[in-house]
Amino acid sequence: MNRFKELKVWQESMNVVMEVYKLVASFPNDEKFNLTSQIKRSAVSIPSNIAEGAGRKHPKEFAQFLGIASGSAAELITQIEIATRLNLISENSGNELGQKLIHITNMIYKLENWVLDPSRSKNIVSEPNEYYNNPI
């Protein structure tokens, strides 16, 4: 599957990356190489792992990278909570971003289950529209 840019979960996770970069731009300089760096890396890891997995040949490999992306989303949720508790971001911003990440995690979970479903056609062309913005 090399159409990863058309995956809704990839697109939404890319939007989160943009949001995260804007959000951490206001963090104090002393956090630049600490929490700021970790937050950025976690955010970037989500769509990166979705793309890398989609580029693999076997469904189990794709599922493995989706699992890594899900773990990165959980890591980012935790880091956003830390930033909120440290008053680096507002509670409202932290909650909004957390809800988006939970939604992305749910999307990843559904896609992972679909990828591993033994009853689905192994033909990648048969991907369901619910996962793509531009279905074949």
Give ∠ CA 125-130-105 in degrees, rounded to 5.
Answer: 110
> In this predicted model, which residue has the larger pLDDT, 44 or 114?
44
pLDDT at 68: 98
List, for residues 1-55, the tens digit of each pLDDT value.
Answer: 468 999 999 999 999 999 999 999 999 888 777 999 999 999 999 999 999 999 9
Cα radius of gyration (the chain)? 16
Q: What structural domains and CATH numbers belong to the chain?
A: 4-116 (1.20.1440.60)
- Residue with the two structure tokens 């939404």: 12
pLDDT of 115 > 80? The answer is: yes
40's tokens: 């950025």
Total-model pTM:
0.87
Up-side HSE of residue 92: CA atoms within 13 Å toward CB? 0
68's tokens: 């890594």
- Residue with the two structure tokens 């680096």: 88
List, for residues 75-85, the tens digit of each pLDDT value.
Answer: 999 999 999 99
Name the percent of the chain lying above pLDDT 70. Answer: 86
Least confident of 46-60, 83-97, 115-129: 115-129
Are the C-beta atoms of residues 66 and 116 closer than 8 Å to each other? no
Q: How confident is the model at residue 121 (pLDDT cuts 50, 70, 90)?
A: low
- Helix 91-116 and helix 59-85, axial crossing angle in degrees, nearest 10: 170
| Candidate ranges 44-48, 58-62, 112-116, 125-129; pick with highest mean pLDDT | 44-48
The whole-chain average pLDDT of the chain stands at 88
Give ∠ CA 89-92-95 in degrees, rounded to 5.
Answer: 95
